[in-house]
Structure 1
Amino acid sequence: MLKRALPLALAATFVLLAHGAHAATTTTFLILNESNKQMGEQVVERQDDGRTTVRFTYKNNGRGPELTEQFRLGPDLLMTEYQVKGNSTFGAVVDERFTRQGNLAEWTTTSDQGRATVDAPASYVPLNSSFEVVSNAITALAASRDGKIALLPTGTLSQTKLETAEVTNAKGEKQTVQLLALTGIGLSPSFYWATTGDKPRLFAVVIPGFLSMLEQGWQDAIPDLARRQKAAEAQMLTDVAAKLQHPLDGLTVVRNARIFDSDKATVGQPSDIYLLRGRITAVMPAGSPTRAANNVVDAGGRIVLPGLFDMHGHVDRWSGALNISTGVTSVRDMGNDNAQLQAMLDETAAGKLLAPQVVPTGFLEGESPYSANGGFLVKDLEGAKNAIDWYAQRGYPQLKIYNSFPKDILKDTVAYAHSRGMRVSGHVPAGLRAQQALDAGYDEIQHINQVMLNFFVKPDTETRNLNRFVLPAEKVADLDLNSKPVKDFLAQLAKKQISIDPTLSAFAFLKQRDGDVNEPYADFADYMPPDVKRSFSVGTMKIPADKEKRYEKSYARMVDFVGVMYRAGVPIVAGTDDVPGFTLHSELALLVKAGLTPAQALQVATRNGARYTRTSNDRGSIVAGKLADLVLVDGDPTTDIRDVRKVSAVITRGFIIYPNQIDAALGIKSFVETPPPVVQQSALAASSGQAVGGGGNDGALQRIEGSARKHD
């Protein structure tokens, strides 16, 4: 769960509830997880000279940001001076300044600097901040004439009111708050509860299933706010799904498709693929007679892939669009809030959520100061068995064990999960090596760092903090991949067929320096909205200047080691734990960099995905009887893996979905501007049952609205 730490742009969301114009005031906000355990706080001090200071700390899973901010506001309620210092979630130095004097705005960060001439109200968007910045923006948006304000360096911020609620604090005091959806930053709306009145300010942030933050004393309002927020989000998402998922009712034929054979890792001769009610009914040579098809998709000789698997996601309601638009039709969720995940599975099955099909993994953690939030926290074997029963009864095919799990019950826990028919994977619990996890019965290991730590940790090595990143970055550069310990470990992995989920794309931050676009983002950064692209140049970890080359070498050796494992017969799966969809393509490129051919990398993302989620009976290849999860791709990703980004259309769950429509809604520039047309057989031909030749006869066909270029 590399990215389950609170993102800085989100971790900062927790802000002051203003109480009038007192000379010097201090307000404390508590950050609480779903169990009401305090995970951090934000303290806001307003000085009588107009200066505001914010101190923000948050720790989860052995890491988290520590920030100190100072700023002043101008007459337009937006910042004229701003400064933040501290450390980011993974320890990178934060040092950022912004000033506006008249029409001149200037900013400097550890990764960029710039200036702009502005003649209207504009809100600077820091790369790292508390969300007092958001609170100020909410106030300014309420005062603006059109409900919008310009953003610096670029963009426009707007907000929409979704809901109101009355809340009561511990003293019995009441007030009315409103739920706002802010758009213009990032790839999805951000939701905030704000006060009402002429100058609203942020009241609370609720992240259902993860954490919440409110002013101390108002915590009892969290359940009601979470319930209302989930309902409002659900309606927005239902509207999005209805707009972007185009149903393929009746028989559909995908004509003239070059099918990627995931078993042989080859591309076959042109074929016609028949689909009905979300499943493949037949695959025939191109040009075979088509009898009364309701819909015809002209693949035009494009390569058609089985739906891709992301084997390491942490899904949320807004990530589905990114996955589907990039051809990811199945995601293995590797840890989530149980109630939230169950709700998303129901919503997806009902067609109310634009999302891939999710294969759930049960999350199991032990109690410690480093514990991750989510799933079940257990103390003993009885608790572990109860949690496994809960997951097994709900059809979870796999269990994930995390860093603080009690090592003395590890073997018995794994054995019990196996008895319930579940695979077992995870991080390696603190105090153990990967070899010991294999001895305890693991079927899979998550993350390349957890694999490499096998050669460096001792029983007293603490791997629940940043050591699990720093130690591999320091040590792997000198690891001899031909040494006996390495060869013996490889032999064990291959003999036991232990699958490895390396998430190489997620670990490229080990070598990233401030100002450089992180390697996995380089191929798609220019397609992202400007604020998202800007964030890709922010260093994640504090890298000493004299160790930059060492860290770079260590990461390169980790990539090489994945290739060594593959050639040794160790099963590899493709997961991200990063930007949904787009970094799966990056993961495949890194597999090619490790020595796999492009076709082998595609095989990992299709056949292996199905094999190690136990869904091979209905996914992973394009054959009759399986789910109709199809990805139409421009170019040839079997020869140039970068072409896998050129997704022109996706078919899944009985819908055809166009990435360029999703991209337009999210402010992303599309890799493919013109998707293949969908045509519908005329009413006369359909009712008479006459055959339509596979090669054409367009006179009997008419285009339907789903042509995608309408961007509806």
Structure 2
Amino acid sequence: MKRILSLSLAMLLASPALAAETVRYVALVDGGKSAGHQIVTTDDDGLTHVDYIFKDNGRGPELKETFRLASDGTFTSYHVQGNTTLGSSVDESFGRDGDRVWWKSTSDHGEQSVTGTALYTPLNGSPASDGVALAALARHADGKLPLIPSGTLSMRKLAEMDLGQGQQARKVQLLAVTGVGLTPRFVWATTDAQPRLFALIYPGWMQLIEEPWKASAAQLEARQTQAEVDLLEDLQKQLAHPLAGTTLIRNARVFDSEKATLGAPSDVLLQGGRIVSVSAAGAAVSNAGNTPDNQIDAAGRVLMPGLFDMHGHVDRWSGGLNIAAGVTTVRDMGNDNATLQKIIAEEKAGSLLSTRIVPAGFIEGESPMSARNGFVIKTLDEAKRAVDWYAANGYVQVKIYNSFPSGILRETAAYAHAKGLRVSGHVPATMRAQDVVEQGYDEIQHINQVLLNFLVDDKTDTRTLQRFYLPAEKIADLDFDSKPVQDFIALLASRKTVIDPTLTTFDFIRQRAGQLSPAYASISAHMPPDVQRGFRSAQMKINDEATAVRYERSYEKMVEFVGRLHRAGVPIVAGTDELAGFTLQRELELYVQAGMTPGEALQTATWNAATYSRALDDRGTVTPGKRADLILIDGDPTRDIADIRKVALVVKGETAYYPSEIHQAMGIRPFAEPVRAAAR
């Protein structure tokens, strides 16, 4: 799930030298609808107060901060209270006295000695608190700022824009900040000697901007998008290695995704982005008698079809993490339509470091808790027009969401089927999973949406956080051998209703503050320090041991239920809805924990995924004629599923990528040495 704005960066909003002032920001979604605010008040003595709230899709953080700054622009004191996106308590403090600094949050605490300028980075701050960093950076000629507890922040200017006219004119600058997280952060700031936040924009999703200038948000988003595209084109040129002519992969053990078994050593010949032949290792494989232009010595490693992530929400920066994890196709399960169309075009043009994208069209119903993606509709005619648009634009399915009107679900599903589209989604509020299957769903997203079938009645509003807390509290006591549960499993199996569990995403229901998230325990040591710290930040409200035990048991039973579905013949596909790439690898581990063999788990992200995204004739198996979307594993994930993290080479069509290079560019310690293509 998105940890909304918890680590975003913005500019200085106050200075001890300034007179008392208040700056108001509005948070906008869906082309201008208000979804929250940030109000920043600075007292005469320099103490700053921040009131921040953002609500989208029935959830979001609420924070109140106070802080004071030193003459170098860094915190001397800081405190934030409130709640995270999913309701966990936030209570975090920092202080500095000379060279001694200390901090304490619900997730960690520490004390250290610091000499000179250094900035504390809050775990769960608002855009205002995190943004103090850039004003301090502006004071450093070298553009670098040490961080507390660790790390170094840097920034560079990407663009300037002039807004308004005459006395209302304003010049603003777009800055890219690196050193926190895995990708750059982008912020619009004023150009004053002591600049402050002007706007913080997440293209296609949210815009936080000074309230009087909200009409300029779209203009700023367009310019920021172009700046991001320019950066990513440079990254693609740096990390993509073209495979011109023919390429021979020698001595690879090929994973048969249809049978979920590992074959004998083989040679695989590629040309023009396609698989030309697969033959026994050592056979005389050539193209029209010529020596291949490139050779890759697999040395007995496992060669697999590129993985599918069947539940992504892609942006321009997720491609690197996905490719490095061996994911060559992502099914996008809901996005801003215009943004996604641009990303698809950039991927097809080869300018973007990206997976291939299978789009699913998002359709939501109008309500105060609507998610503002895709089409938000009220009537059947509007729902049909949304289906028509998706069918005309190459989408393979539609995804129904929480506020969709239950009275028109059956007719909408039938209309989508008549247009050749699959139908999937969340279960709309006041309905149960059994209802949506009977009314036309081909697939259900998320294990909580499946199991809520036994936990709700027609008055339960699952658009609220109840869709997370009810499963956490009640699944522990649910009898999976009871007749209602067994009848439901039989219904899913008889209709071959696909389940997209996203188990790793729901690991948050059992994570306690300060504990390393089990979802990322295997990769944490490879990550930058600030990302490691974030893995210990909880999202759910777990205040006592009894609740922790119950929520842990509920999560274990979610995993168990996926195993029961699989054994009953219910199709499973592997999706994430969280940190790109790494989450899919963990998802496959959990399927093995649920009782699948490693080969069956790999099948969910290859054969099953290609089948249900209607791409099996194009990819998903290592078969002549199909796309050369392939990954080489330095290990054997059919025996130890954890080896799926050891991706040594990714081939996407006519391009080779080395995951170690991508990870190093993001500050991640690689998981495997690269296996490189050698040109003739």
With normalisation by structure 2, the TM-score equals 0.98
Is 1:341 the counterpart of 2:335? The answer is no
Q: Distance in 1 between matches of 2:69 and 2:353?
A: 40
Q: What amino acid does structure 2 have at the position aligned with 1:552?
A: E
Counterparts of 1:118 and 1:20 in 2: how far apart (Å)? 22
**1:115-167 deviation per Cα after TM superposition (whole angstroms, max 9, x unaligned):** 22111211111001112234322111111120110011111100010000011
SS in 2 for 1:348: helix
Counterpart code for 2:677: V
Say if 2:53 is the partner of 1:54.
Answer: no
Write the deviation string for residues 38-87 of structure 1: whole angstroms up to 9, x where unpaired. 10001111011221110101111111101010110011111010000100
Counterpart residue number, 2:260: 265
Q: State yes or no: 1:43 paired with 2:42.
A: no
Task: Check the 8 A contact 1:14/1:42 in 2, yes or no.
Answer: no
CA distance in 2, matches of 1:15, 1:42: 13
**Is the 8 Å Cα contact of residues 281 and 624 (structure 1) preserved in structure 2?**
yes
Distance 1:98 1:645, change over 3 A: same
The aligned runs of 1:439-450 (5 Å cut-off) are: 439-450=438-449
The residue number in structure 1 matching 2:211 is 216
For residue 402 of structure 1, what is the aligned residue in structure 2?
A: 401
Amino acid at match of 2:207: S
Counterpart among 247, 263, 266 of residue 252 in structure 1: 247
* Aligned partners of 2:189 and 2:195 also within 8 Å: yes
- Structure-1 residue corresponding to 2:562: 562
Structure 2 contact 658–675 (Cα < 8 Å) conserved: no
SS state at 1:412 partner = helix
What is the percent sequence identity of the aligned residues?
Answer: 52
**Residue 389 of structure 1: aligned partner:** 388
The residue correspondences of 1:102-501 to structure 2 (distance < 5 A) are 102-168=98-164, 173-289=168-284, 290=286, 291-501=290-500
Question: What's the CA shift string for 1:313-344, capped at 9, x where partnerless?
Answer: 00000000000000000100000000110000
CA distance in 1, matches of 2:130, 2:87: 23
Distance between the aligned counterparts of 1:540 and 1:172, measured in 2?
A: 45
Instruction: State the alpha-carbon separation in 2 of the partners of residues 74 and 15 from structure 1.
Output: 16
TM-score by length of 1: 0.93
Q: Which of the numbers 58, 69, 73 marks the counterpart of 2:65?
A: 69
Deviations 1:589-613 (A, max 9, x none): 0001100011110111110110110
Q: In the alignment, is the contact (CA less than 8 A) between 1:14 and 1:213 conserved in 2?
A: no
Tell me, in whole angstroms, the C-alpha distance in 2 between the residues paired with 1:317 and 1:281.
31
Q: State the alpha-carbon separation in 2 of the partners of residues 22 and 76 from structure 1.
A: 14
Distance 2:414 2:265 in 1: 47
State the distance in 1 between where 2:4 and 2:511 align.
Answer: 20
Q: Name the residue aligned to 2:637.
A: 637
Runs of 4+ residues over 3 Å off in structure 1: 13-23
Tell me if structure 1 keeps the 8 A contact 2:17–2:46.
Answer: no
Amino acid at match of 2:137: L
Q: State the distance in 1 between where 2:429 and 2:679 align.
A: 58
Distance 2:271 2:459 in 1: 57
- Deviation at 1:252? 0.6
Report the Cα distance in structure 2 between the residues aligned to 1:603 and 1:368, rounded to whole angstroms: 39
Residue 7 (structure 1) shift: 3.6
Query: Equivalents in 1 of 2:506, 2:201: separation in Å?
Result: 29
Whether the aligned pair in 2 keeps the contact of 1:505 and 1:586 (CA below 8 Å) is: yes
Is contact 1:300–1:676 with CA below 8 Å preserved after alignment? no
SS across alignment from 2:67? strand
Conserved in 2, the CA contact under 8 Å of 1:246 and 1:655?
Answer: yes
Deviations 1:298-323 (A, max 9, x none): 11110011100100000000000000
One-letter code of the match for 1:223? A
Give CA deviations for 1:617-663 in whole Å, capped at 9, x if unaligned.
Answer: 01111000001011100111001000000000100021000001001
Q: Which amino acid aligns with 1:484?
A: K
Contact 1:434 1:454 in 2 (8 A): yes
Tell me which amino acid in the other structure corresponds to 1:110: T
In 1, distance between residues paired with 2:84 and 2:131? 21
* CA 509–419 in structure 1, closer or farther in 2 if over 3 Å, else same: same
Aligned residue type for 1:275: L
SS of residue in 2 equivalent to 1:515: coil
2:605 aligned counterpart, secondary structure: helix
1:573 partner letter? V
CA RMSD for the aligned pairs?
1.4
2:24 aligned with 1:25 = no
Listed as ranges, the matches of 1:593-632 within 5 Å are 593-632=593-632
Question: Contact between 1:365 and 1:375, CA under 8 Å: does it hold in 2?
Answer: yes
Name whichever of 208-217 and 483-492 sits farther off: 208-217
Question: In structure 1, what residue type is equivalent to 2:562?
Answer: V
1:410 maps to amino acid: L
How many residues in Structure 1 have an aligned counterpart in Structure 2?
Answer: 675
Give the Cα separation in 2 of the matches to 1:122 and 1:20. 17
Partner of 1:519: 518
What is the distance in 2 between the residues matched to 1:565 and 1:22?
A: 62
* Structure 2: gaps (5+ residues): none
User: Aligned to 2:187, what secondary structure does the other structure show?
Assistant: strand
- What is the one-letter code of the residue matched to 1:8? S
Verify the 8 A CA contact 1:31 1:214 in the aligned structure 2: yes
